[in-house]
Amino acid sequence: MMSDESPARPLTSRELAALIGVSQSAVSRAFTPGSSISSKLRARILGAAHEYGYQPNAIASMMTTKRTKIVGIVVSDMRNPFYPALIERLTQALQRVGFQSLLFNISPGARIEEQLVAIRTYNVDTVIVISATILDDRTLNWAAGGRRAILLNRLSHQDMPTVCCDNVAGARAVVDHFHAIDRHRIGYVAGLAKTAVGMTRQGAFTTRLAELGMRLVGSAGSEAYTFEAGWQGALDLLAARPDAIFFASDILALGGLGALRAAGVRIPEDIAVAGFDDIVMAGWPTNDLTTYRQPVDQLIEKAIEMTLAAEIDEDRLVLLPGELIIRGSTSGD
């Protein structure tokens, strides 16, 4: 496979065909699984390809098949460590099934549409949208340009294919846990309030609180899922004297933990703290954060399944349950 030095210009199928005296279509078929070719000829061609270092040109085959084997991944927040971890595993999983990932990193504020023009011209087979923020459904549809768009860890109001953690179950699990450890004055630090995911978590959280007769003593908004926002949110809540705080994401919770500790609050004795996501840092001994773990592997598996499926008729909205990971920030060890 790594034979010889690569020539300046790579071999074409026609050239390889000429070299070994077969037709060019035979070469093409040799590389196309399931095509009409005898195994003997295929073996001979693959052998020669190996020997001369021929590899089919993916661009050319995109021309005719109109399939690029590329998925566009739309992201906007790689600062929150949850996303890189998700992207890493997603791209690897895609590679395993023969797809490559074209990254569209859209930055807020700037001319969104302009940033998305490329996604149409590159003819990606599928668009996977991870970005929680920014894109509204309409823009998204336009960007996909008729291709399949899959929402990953993000909700929409239309019926686009969606794979998402069950935020309701997650928020409820946290409340139930607070209840179990006998906390009743609860605080909430929201992420981006405008997003569907953010609203779902918050809604389920407050609903469950009410069901159990617990008291939401205060809630703080925030403009972003960042450490600083969590820090500030925690400080904002202190006056309400909560005995437990739920942060809409781990990165917020870490900021909150920092602020609370700096303020001399004992965790979990004075205030229990829980987050959402279970990013790797949540498990670090220095943080030891109770959190609702997103089922990343299953999310990805489902997303891949949707990417490969010919049609997505049923189960357009897949909600997967996660798991509450109880650590020292709520259980007095």
CA 274-275-276 angle, 5° bins: 140
CA quadruple 127, 132, 137, 140: dihedral positive or negative?
Answer: negative
CB 85 within 8 A of CB 117: no
Given candidates 64, 110, 182, 269, which one binds DNA under the rule CB under 7 A? Answer: 64
Site string for its own copies, 242-261 (x = CB under 8 A): ------------xx-xx--x
DSSP at 231: H
3 part of the interface to DNA, by CB under 7 A: no
Stretch that binds DNA, among 34-42, 94-102, 130-138, 242-250 (CB under 7 A): 34-42
Residue 23 has a CB neighbour count (10 Å cut-off) of: 12
Given candidates 6, 18, 65, 113, which one binds DNA under the rule CB under 7 A? Answer: 65
Site for its own copies in 271-290 (CB under 8 A): 280-281, 284-286
> Both tokens of residue 17?
């065909």
CB 274 within 8 A of CB 177: yes
CA quadruple 169, 171, 176, 181: dihedral positive or negative?
Answer: positive
Given candidates 22, 87, 197, 237, which one binds DNA under the rule CB under 7 A? Answer: 22
Given candidates 23, 35, 38, 92, which one binds its own copies under the rule CB under 8 A? Answer: 92
DSSP at 310: S
53 part of the interface to DNA, by CB under 7 A: no
Q: How far apart are CA 217 and CA 198, in angstroms?
A: 19
- For residue 53, the minimal CB distance to DNA (Å) is 11
Size of the site for its own copies (CB under 8 A): 62
Look at residues 119, 63, 121, 126 and name the one whose alpha carbon lies nearest to residue 99. 126
Alpha helices in 226-333 (DSSP H): 227-238, 250-262, 296-308
Binding residues for DNA (CB under 7 A):
9-14, 22-26, 28-29, 31-32, 35-42, 56-57, 60-61, 63-66
Query: Which residues contribute to the site for its own copies (CB under 8 A)?
Result: 1-2, 6-10, 55-60, 62-63, 68, 70, 73, 78-79, 81, 83-85, 87-88, 91-92, 95, 100-105, 107, 113, 115, 117-118, 120-123, 138-139, 142, 145-146, 227, 231, 254-255, 257-258, 261-262, 280-281, 284-286
